[in-house]
Structure 1
């Protein structure tokens, strides 16, 4: 693939910023069509689907932020001179062609495309049918920005496919797919893994845990729990599971207070056997598999553990590998938790809601990767490149 200059890429992004601003009404009108066709029963998906003036501002801001970032392509990673005279230069290089499959969020059409393009990749955007009108207008605006700068529309392509057509595309793509990102729930991830012939990077599944250690500040813990659980239930960084140390001071009283507070805030709370015994009328977890579920709803699980080690084990068995928090004033316990919990982001005394490219200083993100290869956590501009070795010689042969 031809490498575009940083100037050309930034010119396209500047054109797109202006084009988005000039076409606000068309974007909102298209989104209104999607909202009118949508089933309001799925509140989390509805929240992700809706586009407002402030969301358009956010789209423009994300493009500006990426435009301001250093071009990640052709950066030297390492150099080495061998005794035989060979000069070896390891440099960053584009992936080539990326495909992202996502549900409901039109802003992904902006963020995924801006990152892929700035990193000199082509991208196929496969959004959900519920956002068809919104994604179509945004893709058309991308094409306008590309053509204004003399570039092909092929850099950013929208796919309008049903499930069977998507399956065939994954099995027999029209060109090699170098990276496929399913950004959604377990069902979508499994579907892509079963059918894709290219490399798959998993993103989107949360099921995040918070453990309240016996050395925790209780007021801080409650504040963090409510923020992580209720601030944005549609986000993959929302809290789903709460574990409380049975050794915390005034254990029963604090359990009852937290349970009531969650109820008051509209959170359906399921509890384990230990908590159920202490809280009259609480809703007992009847199937242990619920500990592995991501809710994306005003719903959570509340359980008790007797030790830090038990909390770590329960998290590692059940979490989605996204984010986990320990609430504690004990630095030794915090470090043990953060080192041993197998998640992309681990926190001490902070909400899981910060697992976000913008919040973590990465900028716009393609996804939050829960895989360990090739990257874990927010997948920003610097992570949308691979590497290539450049070897310069003068007739050397291997004896």
Structure 2
């Protein structure tokens, strides 16, 4: 793939910023069509679908942030000259062509494309049909920005395929795919893994846990839980499961206090058998499968564990590998939790809602990776590269 000059890429991004700002009415009108066609039965998806002036401002900010970042391509990772004079340099390089599959969030059409383009990749955007009008307008903006600077529209393409057509595209793409990012639930991930013929980087599934140990500051704990659970239920970094250590001082009183605080925010609860001894009016989880569910709703499970090790074991057995928090004033407990819990982001005394590219300082994000190969956590500009070795010789042969 031809490497584009940094100035050219940034000029395209500057044009995109102007197009977004000057054509707000067109985008808002398109989004209105999407909203009117969508049932509000799935409140989380509906919330992700909404575009307003604040959302457009966020899109513009994302493009500006990526534009201001250093070009990630051609950076030297390592350099060495062997005894025989062979000169070996390892540099960052583009993936090539990326495909991202996602639902409902039109802002992903901006964030994914700006990252892919600045990292010198081409990208196929397979957005959900519920956002089709919004996505078409946004990709049209991208094409105008590209064409304005002498680049063709193939760098950023929108796919409007049904399930069967997507399956066929994964098996026989119109051009080589180098990386696919399915940004969604288990069914989508399994669908892509089954049919893709290239590398797949898994992202998007949350099911995040918070553990309260016997030293936790209770008022701080409630504040963190409320933020993690209720701030944005549609986000993959929202909280779903709360584990409380049995030895917490005033265990019964604190459970009832937590119950009241969550119910005041209209959060429905499920509890395990031990917790139900105190929260007698709350329904018991119907099966252990619930521990693996990501709710994306005002719904939460409260469970009781005996020890820190029990909490770690449960989180590693059931979480989505996204984010987990320990509420504790014991630094040793925090370090053990953070080292032993197998998640992309682990916290002490902080909300899981911070697992986000912008909040973690990488700017726009393609996704939150829960994979271990290549990178975990927010996929920002510097993570959308691979590497290539440049070897310079002078008639060298291996003997």
Instruction: Give the TM-score taking structure 2 as reference length.
Output: 1.00
2:385 aligned partner: 385
- Give the 5 Å matches for 1:228-307: 228-307=228-307
> Residue in 2 aligned with 1:137?
137
Query: For each residue in 1:336-384, what CA deviation from the matched residue of structure 2 results, as whole angstroms up to 9, or x when unmatched?
Result: 0000000000000000000000000011000000001110000000000
* Mapping of residues 47-86 of structure 1, within 5 Å: 47-86=47-86
In structure 2, distance between residues paired with 1:54 and 1:281:
41
In structure 1, the gaps of 5 or more residues are none
- 2:21 and 2:280 map into 1 onto residues whose CA distance is 55
My pick for the range that moved more, 248-257 or 339-348, is 248-257
Instruction: Write the distance in 1 (CA, Å) between the matches of 2:254 and 2:104.
Output: 38
- In the alignment, the residues of structure 2 paired with residue 383 and residue 358 of structure 1 have an alpha-carbon distance, to the nearest angstrom, of 14
Matched, 1:356 2:350: no
Question: Which residue of structure 2 aligns with residue 91 of structure 1?
Answer: 91
Aligned-partner SS, 2:77: strand
- 1:37 and 1:130 map into 2 onto residues whose CA distance is 8
Q: Name the residue aligned to 1:43.
A: 43
Partner of 1:332 in structure 2? 332
Secondary structure at 2:176 match in 1: coil
CA positional deviation for 1:280:
2.0
1:217 aligns with: 217
2:8 alignment counterpart: 8
- Between the aligned partners of 2:265 and 2:347, the Cα distance in structure 1 is 24
SS in structure 2 at match of 1:278: coil
Superposition pairs for residues 161-180 of structure 1, below 5 Å?
161-180=161-180
Q: CA deviation at 1:307?
A: 0.2
**1:236 CA displacement:** 0.1
**Aligned-pair CA distance for 1:29:** 0.2
Distance 1:262 1:83 in 2: 67
Please state whether the residue corresponding to 2:277 is helix, strand or coil: helix
Aligned residue number for residue 103 of structure 2: 103
Q: Which structure 2 segments of 5+ residues have no match?
A: none
Matched, 1:342 2:342: yes
Deviation of 1:166 after TM superposition, in Å, equals 0.3
Runs of 4+ in structure 1 deviating by more than 6 angstroms, as ranges, are none
Aligned mates of 1:397, 1:317 — CA distance in 2: 52
1:26 corresponds to: 26
Query: 1:45-99: per-residue Cα shift (whole Å, max 9, x none)?
Result: 0000000001001100100000000000000000011011100000000000000
SS in 2 for 1:300: strand
1:357 is paired with a residue of what secondary structure? coil
Matched residues in 1 for 2:28 and 2:34: separation? Answer: 10
- How many residues align structurally? 399
Distance 1:316 1:392 in 2: 46
TM-score normalised by the chain length of structure 1: 1.00
